[in-house]
Structure 1
């Protein structure tokens, strides 16, 4: 996807003038972000700067003091819990630092379960789609997810996040618990996802080398997001 194509792609996340404070401290002070399908954005920042809180605002788990958050064209402000849960299940995929798989289930069942919980698993080939995703992402067959390596578990988590064909994929320190080799392989795969599956990717990471792989790297500081200069320009 060229820069021109990306500019024409549909917005999957629009954050406007977000403000949020806690304990007398302002985390977001007019923060804004636009993310389009096919694009990846990485957010870095010091510990306590609000990176994970930003993801919680996007998920509707934290209500900001003011500002708007739109996911796939739907404002999450004021949504009732049932509609918010449906939006999360159908439009947002989430990859956690430690995968958060059910260890007693196979990789296939972990992914298929996400489709069932979203009421997207009956009569529409969801199990076959889950198997195809795992194959595409290079996850080997296994009786339980405990048999997988750390990198394989994270690739399973990516497949689970993609099973419902979300518009937006969120990743919270997705390589933070991996060794160097698994980190690089997982990052390579993760940043291919937006163009491959026509979604937007927002990654929160403390690792500048991971952030540099994104189409845009932003630094969260003083309540706002600022572009990180490309390495060639530093």
Structure 2
């Protein structure tokens, strides 16, 4: 069985006098997809922020690729995030004035990859994901923007791929095609995938579907998960 690329242990976090998490535990392994659902305000996106190191939990550890990111600060945290985590946002968050290949290659250049290698891998990923060449990303369709965002998230060969409502802004047909692509990534690229979504149809595509209930995670049948 593969090693965990994400291991959350005893996570506790409160904000505004409200406790979002209490002793929350979660594992995601290489080649595995996990979906997390829950109502607005339940803490789904906050959990992703903890995994990214953008929010520091009150208690617990968040290990990504074997390193507890809660112990990292500044440049070491940014380097570890860049090397080991890829992120897909709801609206793609592309720079519209740049071409798809420039958007994807930029993430590799910022991680210290040579220009030649960054552009070579960007072109390869975009071809694999079926994104047409264009001079500006603003001319892409919604599905093409999300496929470009997936390519950008994969450019540095991350151990962990995160997606925050990746199909929330898409029509039904495009949603299904992007979901097919996204949940195929763990097998094709050997990464772990953690998806946050309000869409239970999307969540059912994952190897495991969990729900934020109270301050913990529960399986789809309502059983409390504890450590995965």
Residue of structure 2 equivalent to 1:218: 210
Residue of structure 2 equivalent to 1:154: 146
Q: Contact 1:218–1:228 (CA<8 Å) still a contact in 2?
A: yes
Cα distance in 2 for partners of 1:179, 1:121 equals 37
Residue of structure 1 equivalent to 2:120: 128
Q: In the TM superposition, what whole-angstrom CA distance separates every residue of 1:110-148 from its partner, at most 9, and x where no partner exists?
A: 00011011112345x221111010011111111111111
Residue of structure 1 equivalent to 2:167: 175
Q: Contact 1:101–1:110 (CA<8 Å) still a contact in 2?
A: yes
Residue of structure 2 equivalent to 1:4: none
Q: In the TM superposition, what whole-angstrom CA distance separates every residue of 1:65-110 from its partner, at most 9, and x where no partner exists?
A: 1000000000112212100000111100000000000001110010
1:67 lines up with 2:60 in the alignment: yes
- Runs of 4+ with >6 A deviation: none
Per-residue deviation at 1:23?
1.2
1:13 lines up with 2:6 in the alignment: yes
Residue of structure 1 equivalent to 2:129: 137
**Gaps in structure 2 of 5+ consecutive residues:** 223-228
1:89 lines up with 2:82 in the alignment: yes
Quote the RMSD (CA, aligned, Å): 1.1
Q: Contact 1:112–1:121 (CA<8 Å) still a contact in 2?
A: no
